[in-house]
């Protein structure tokens, strides 16, 4: 049944199927199971980054395109809806106009980059996309009147999405039915829909051609497939989906800024998610996003408790000090690559448990 729900993509591992179902159940029940605004923010971030990582996997894992400009499209979606809400007002019309503008800009820029650069191979194309990413980061920082510059934009959202909104008085299972809850489920529903669309794409004949291009683009060209055309279409789909995830992030944060939606750190995070989860499989984006976002959000707290528990061993307690969480995060990443060279999904599928 899980295969059918995910558009024919075979899971091929009972453990993987259980993990995916656990992630889905956790995201759906997060407001009721995990109390506090922080846990809800972590769940929303996981939902957004699942879509962002999956959209990048369409490029890197399925088509073999190495791009460093993916965070640009994420930022375009976020800035599009932010600028519209700031200038038009907190209404649904502004959300749709700004969102459509952001997605449209992302698709157009991706198409233009494709026309100029997709005939360039390997590292040369990656360097061009890195230059594009740097250009848009600087542009967003300098256009103070439009983007708010380094300070970014803070804006109001439609009334139903405002934290002050109450759908009903009282609580349900201890959870207030407010705008924050509505925003979370809106983000989750949109993320599930976008992920399903990407699954449909990669499991279609078009997706099979992309995988053939990834394996041997010369052979695919010899078979009659216009490699540049397929790569350009894949880039546009990927960019549009990334922009859509940026819209979701902006609605959740009610803020956009260069560091929040255009930072190169976002690109690094997405790459790490795919390496941890497994490239060339949409499931890898799911598990990679969960692992990395959870580690970034809670590793420091876990280390604080471990450091306090080992206070009798000064050297160990110092090594587990929460200020060193990035060191342990890096060590965990290296260990995960060693233990799961094909990512979590690839390893589970090879073991076929």
Distance CA 343, CA 333 (A): 11
pLDDT of residue 175: 80
Rg (CA), the chain: 21
pLDDT of residue 94: 95
pLDDT of residue 351: 66
Q: How many folded domains does the chain comprise?
A: 1
Structural domain boundaries, residue 143: 2-351
pLDDT of residue 196: 93
pLDDT of residue 227: 86
Helix (H, G, I), strand (E, B) or coil at 19: helix
pLDDT of residue 125: 81
Nearest C-alpha neighbor of 349 from the set 14, 20, 21, 13: 13
Q: Please report, for residues 50, 288, 293, 332, 344, the alpha-carbon distance to residue 285 in angstroms, rounded to integers and kept in the order given.
A: 6, 5, 12, 18, 10
Q: Which residue has the tokens 């920082």?
A: 141
pLDDT of residue 104: 96
φ, ψ (nearest 5 deg) of residue 154: -110, 135
Distance CA 263, CA 288 (A): 19
Half-sphere exposure of 31 (CA within 13 A, CB side): 18
What is the residue-level pLDDT of the chain in tens, covering all 353 positions?
445 455 556 777 788 889 999 999 999 999 988 877 889 999 999 999 999 999 999 999 998 888 899 999 999 999 999 999 999 999 999 999 999 999 999 999 999 888 776 666 667 888 888 889 999 999 999 988 999 999 999 999 999 998 888 877 777 777 878 889 999 999 999 999 999 999 999 999 999 999 998 888 888 888 888 888 898 899 999 999 999 999 999 999 999 999 999 998 999 999 999 999 988 889 999 999 999 999 999 998 898 998 888 888 888 888 888 888 888 888 888 888 888 888 888 888 876 54
* Burial of residue 239 (number of CB atoms within 10 Å: 0-12, 13-18, 19+): buried
pLDDT of residue 6: 52
- pTM of the entire structure? 0.93
Helix (H, G, I), strand (E, B) or coil at 256: strand
- Taking each helix axis from N to C terminus, what angle separates 179-202 and 37-60, rounded to the nearest 10 degrees? 20
Q: Are 66 and 124 in contact (CB under 8 A)?
A: no
CATH code of the domain covering residue 176: 1.10.3470
Q: Are 28 and 168 in contact (CB under 8 A)?
A: no
Q: Are 278 and 177 in contact (CB under 8 A)?
A: no
Helix (H, G, I), strand (E, B) or coil at 154: strand
């Amino acid at each position: 049944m899980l295969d059918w729900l995910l558009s024919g993509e075979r899971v091929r591992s009972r453990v993987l199927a259980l993990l995916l179902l656990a992630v889905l159940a956790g995201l759906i029940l997060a407001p009721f199971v995990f109390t506090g605004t922080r846990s809800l923010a972590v769940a929303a971030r996981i939902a957004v980054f699942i879509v962002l990582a999956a959209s990048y996997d369409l490029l890197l894992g399925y088509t073999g395109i190495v791009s460093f400009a993916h965070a640009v499209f994420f930022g375009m979606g976020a800035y599009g809806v932010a600028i519209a809400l700031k200038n038009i007002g907190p209404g649904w019309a502004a959300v749709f106009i700004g969102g459509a503008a952001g997605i449209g800009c992302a698709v157009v820029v991706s198409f233009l980059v494709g026309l100029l650069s997709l005939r360039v191979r390997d590292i040369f194309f990656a360097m061009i996309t890195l230059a594009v990413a740097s250009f848009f980061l600087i542009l967003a920082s300098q256009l103070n009147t439009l983007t708010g510059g380094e300070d970014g934009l803070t804006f109001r959202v439609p009334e139903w999405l405002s934290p002050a909104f109450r759908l009903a008085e009282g609580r349900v299972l201890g959870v207030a039915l407010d705008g924050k809850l509505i925003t979370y489920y809106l983000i989750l529903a949109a993320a599930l829909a976008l992920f399903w669309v990407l699954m449909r794409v990669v499991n279609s004949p078009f997706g099979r051609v992309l995988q053939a291009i990834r394996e041997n683009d010369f052979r695919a060209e010899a078979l009659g497939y216009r490699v540049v055309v397929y790569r350009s279409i894949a880039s546009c789909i990927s960019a549009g989906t990334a922009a859509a995830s940026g819209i979701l992030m902006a609605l959740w944060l009610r803020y956009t800024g260069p560091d929040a939606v255009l930072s190169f750190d976002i690109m690094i995070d997405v790459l790490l998610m795919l390496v941890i989860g497994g490239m060339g499989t949409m499931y890898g984006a799911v598990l990679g996003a969960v692992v990395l976002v959870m580690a970034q959000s809670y590793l420091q707290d876990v280390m604080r408790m471990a450091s306090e528990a080992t206070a009798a061993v000064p050297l160990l307690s110092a090594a587990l000090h929460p200020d060193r969480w990035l060191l342990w995060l890096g060590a965990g990443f290296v260990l995960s690559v060693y233990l799961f060279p094909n990512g979590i999904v690839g390893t589970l599928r090879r073991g076929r448990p």
